[in-house]
Amino acid sequence: MTPLPSFGAECRSIWNDRLSTRISAQYFGLSLNEGEYSGDFIDALAAVEYRLTQHLGLGGGYNYFDLQVDRHKGNFTLSGDYSFQGLLAYLFVRF
């Protein structure tokens, strides 16, 4: 098994010493015809972060994640579909 890269972009805006916003998205797609593989991976995030102190802060936002996998060849069948989306809240530490 070999890890494969995903392609993505992130934009972080720092509004002042305590408040920042972050938007990011990643995508990976794979498709092979002979072995009947498939793929697809999507991860997107939009968040607002607030620093309480120099090293400690709070964040909240919205996250979308979708993963699909298929492999059909002969008698061997592998399928998968996993996704979630919703609000999130987190505590962060930065040094």
Q: Which residue range(s) make up the domain with 18?
A: 1-55
Question: pLDDT digits over 66-91, tens only?
Answer: 988 877 676 666 677 889 999 999 99
Q: Can you name the residues that pair with 20 across neighbouring β-strands? A: 14, 49
How does residue 23 score in pLDDT terms, banded at 50, 70 and 90?
very high
Q: Within a domain: residue 39?
A: yes
Q: Within a domain: residue 69?
A: no
pLDDT at 14: 96
Q: Within a domain: residue 90?
A: no
CB 46 within 8 A of CB 62: yes
How many angstroms separate the CA atoms of 6 and 43, rounded?
Answer: 10
**What separation in angstroms does the CA of 26 have from each of 5, 23, 29, 36, 81?**
10, 11, 10, 24, 17
How many angstroms separate the CA atoms of 47 and 22, rounded?
Answer: 5
pLDDT at 74: 65
pLDDT at 3: 63
Question: pLDDT digits over 28-79, tens only?
Answer: 877 776 667 777 889 999 999 999 999 999 999 999 999 888 776 766 666 7
Q: Within a domain: residue 4?
A: yes
Number of domains in the chain: 1
List of residues 6+ apart from 35 with CB closer than 8 A: 71, 73
